[in-house]
């Protein structure tokens, strides 16, 4: 998940810098596109009784971009859920 090419396939063609990571638990990225100030994306995996909970936090995001980012993350999570569902079949 921390390989640059894998990140670009999943997250798109944006400038990424890994700020922190804990294997199999946490990935924190500095995320930028174009001239905007970089924002911070934090992806955390937590064990639960039913499997794993993914917690995603996108902060330091310019207000005009917030709704577009929320829509993009919702789509990305739906794709991930679909892929994971297919693996269980």
| Chain segment 17-59, per-residue pLDDT in tens | 889 999 989 999 998 876 778 899 999 999 999 888 999 999 9
Q: How many domains in the chain? A: 1
* Distance (Å, whole) CA 16 – CA 8: 9
Q: Against a cut of 0.75, is the pTM above it?
A: yes
Q: Which domain holds residue 82?
A: 4-87
Please check whether residue 39 is in contact with residue 11, taking contact to mean a CB–CB distance below 8 angstroms.
Answer: no
Better pLDDT: 8 or 15: 15
Angle at 24 between CA 23 and CA 28, to 5 degrees: 65
Q: What is the model's pLDDT at position 3?
A: 73
Residue 48 C-alpha from the chain's centroid: 20
DSSP string, 48-80: ETTEEEEEEEEES--HHHHHHHHHHHHHHHHHH
The CATH number of residue 53's host domain is 3.30.530.20
């Amino acid at each position: 998940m921390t390989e640059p090419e894998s990140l670009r396939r999943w997250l798109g063609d944006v400038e990424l810098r890994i700020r922190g990571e804990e294997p199999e638990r946490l990935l924190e990225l500095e995320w930028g596109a174009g001239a905007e100030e970089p924002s911070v994306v934090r992806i955390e995996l937590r064990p639960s009784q039913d499997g794993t909970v993914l917690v995603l936090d996108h902060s330091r995001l310019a207000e005009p971009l917030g709704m577009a980012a929320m829509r993009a993350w919702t789509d990305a999570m739906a794709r991930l859920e679909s892929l994971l569902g297919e693996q269980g079949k």
